[in-house]
Chain A
Amino acid sequence: MNPDNPKMGFFETIANIDRRVIFLFIGFAVIIPVLLSFSCTEEATPIVQAVYDEIESLPEGSKVLISFDYGPSTVPEVQPMIDALLRHSCEKNLKMYMMALWGTGHNLISESMQDIIEKEFPHKIYGVDYVNLGYKAGNQGLINVILTDMKKMYTTDARGSEIDAVPMMVDIRNLKSFDLILSMGGGFPGIKEWVLFGGDPGNIPVAGGATAVSAPLLYPYYPRQLLGLLGGIKGAAEYESALIKGYPKFKTHSHPAIDMMGPQTVAHIVIVFFIVIGNITFFIGRKREEGEKREGGVIK
């Protein structure tokens, strides 16, 4: 602080504000709306609508491979997408093949099966309408293998049954047996690997959901190599809205993404505010510096 010029000191303080003050603001920007259950409404953008429309257009009994390529750390972002997609697929009577490229995805499959399919669609039969293929190591290498031979890697399902004893697996030979691949996650391995090693070489439609951080990176693949994409919690909220629009009965079900948009919006505004403040103080600071330099006889 400069005692001779308290005003300048003020701007300097703001410009070089302790990061912990920003942290505090962000903390409150999230806690308060969460406590007050503040929420916003969403409209589906074309890239999200494309995924919805594709599932909507699949005939009954089509085979959809859903890859759980995420971990607990991205559950808040990705789980709402999975829930909405599973509901939609169940409603359309599609066959759901669930697998994971991430070790952490393994448990998430069982949880999703319990929470959505078993609870909300009790008439669906394991092994006929849906199957848990579990996690296999190998990342893109795994995709590479199952592109030509699925059963080389999947000798059993996640429950330990011999793979050919699972009715819906009998006519599956490799990735090309599927009508649609949905990769959920966006990290590595994820959608990019599915496009590069599965969709492109096998000519199989790939769509998916990604964390918002990886979504921009996947834009170049859309729409030719990637059918559509749910980007981040906003994408999930849009899909939830589209689903409720198409099937109003889902309105009473949980829609965590829509709920989550509230706190995010507030925190977003706080960040925008800090960027604006940062720039204003930066310019005032620079003006002052220039002024001082002139006084000192140095003109730059």
Chain B
Amino acid sequence: MLVFKCPYCGIEADETELSPGGEAHLKRFGPGSSDEELEGYLFNRENPKGVHFERWRHVYGCGKWFHAARCTATLEVFGTYSAQTFEPPKEIIDIIKAKRPGWKWRNLS
């Protein structure tokens, strides 16, 4: 039973007040993209046993989507942040690096 702090309204929201939305920071591929790009965008999700960036919506609260950095093996939450970002903010990255030495994600390490 997870708890996340919604960065938009400041509430410590119960999992039952939220709806999960899968991997965060996907890049949309529309017309003009290749079949592989489209497949990757629609289906090939990251599925790490460890640090994961994901989307949640505070659906029973302020209605806003936000992002969370969470460990799928321990359910530790490293932080939540704005959904209007292309990659996790530095402070979140720093927390993860401190807690999970050697962690890598895309071009970040």
Q: Do A and B come from one complex?
A: no
Q: Which A residues form the contact surface with B (CB < 8 A)?
A: none
Q: Which B residues form the contact surface with A (CB < 8 A)?
A: none
